[in-house]
Amino acid sequence: MLNHEWITSINRLYTTLSKLIEEPGVTGQEDAVATRISQLLDNLPVTKRKDNLGNLIVTLNPKKTPKVMFFAHMDEIGWVVRKIDKQGYLYLYPVGGVPEHILSGQWVRVLTPQGPIFGAVVAKPPHLALEGENLPPIIDVGVNSASEAAELGICPGNPVIVERQIMLMANSQRAIGRCFDNRMGCALLIHLLHYFSDQNLDGSIVAVFSSTEEHGMSSYTRNFNLFGPGARGAWLPAHVEKPDLAFVVDTNTCSDLPGAPEHEITVQMGKGPVLRFLDDLTIIRPEMRQFMLETAVENDIPYQVGFSMAYTDASVIQLTGVPVGVIGIPLRYLHSPAQILHLPDLLHALRWAVALVNKAKDYPYLE
């Protein structure tokens, strides 16, 4: 493949994203995703390492400056098995910011040392459900007892994900699937590394495929994290690597939904990637905002300006003193089994990342 196709081909981006969607990566248990990413970067002139938090750190041109660091989290929301009752039904504990009532009737995959076990989330038919009844998520894996479940390798702590993959939608410009948050950011970084691998790059790129970003999203943990609520894994590589600049590539929720009042519609699908000015835990510094906006304008990259009530890896990267910016990729139905992505938005986000690397040496406060 011609090198420029890594940053110009929507089909190639879709293929890379499809491969990443296949892998399970419940937050804190992202090893399968990291392995697949590492394979997709084989034969590149990069160094790869994993740290004790599960981050995969990939470096291109390690001895050159400026050092520009990119982050995209590998993990997805999900569940772990909490209890197995005597009939063999599985009771779950949510991991990450799991919306209520999204599991009823879904197909799921339970991950065990013996391989995946498929099941269905219990959904009472209307003629059996009691008025006001609200079942917790319970999994039926087709057994009749706890001992049968144990024979399959199922035990408390097994990760559970929704069994959904990826499909192109009617106009082939949009895709539907699970965990686009944030496998699409990971796909972007893979393409970024491929593109610059044979360029005369005046600097180094450190791509961090980070772990445990979603953990702090849980309502059970938001008030008890070490740094307040926020991502976990990204802090360690930012602290160790000490880059000159850092950029987080993550999602940004679309607000162009049915019933949304006009004044609430700030981020729309198909209008380009998003410069996230601020969220619950991060305010992007004015000099970084200006740097990112100028870069987009100079390279004819469509962009939007957005705000969020959630947060990204930037929440902890900023605590290391590194100038950090966030590229948001518009996404509908965040944290659901059926997320929708506009592929040209992802491609423009990739172009923006390339342009930021090329302009990094011009950052105004670079020492």
Which residue has 């197909």 as its token pair?
Answer: 107
Kindly state the helix (H) or strand (E) to which residue 270 belongs, with its residue range.
Answer: none
Using the Cα atoms of residue 43, residue 44, residue 46 and residue 52 in order, give the sign of their dihedral: negative
Q: Where are the domains of the chain?
A: 3-76+179-362, 78-162
pLDDT tens profile 249-292: 999 988 888 877 778 777 788 999 999 887 777 888 899 999 99
Per DSSP, which regions of 226-335 are E strands?
Answer: 245-253, 274-278, 304-307, 324-332
- Per-residue CA distances from 346 to 2, 12, 69 (Å): 20, 12, 19
Superfamily in which the 3-76+179-362 domain is placed by CATH: Zn peptidases (3.40.630.10)
- Cα(113)–Cα(177) distance, integer angstroms: 26
- When pLDDT is cut at 50, 70 and 90, the band that residue 213 belongs to is confident
Give the pLDDT confidence score for residue 354 in this predicted structure. 97
Which percentage of the chain shows pLDDT scores above 90? 66
Give the pLDDT confidence score for residue 281 in this predicted structure. 78
What number does CATH give the domain 78-162? Answer: 2.40.30.40
How much is the pTM?
0.92
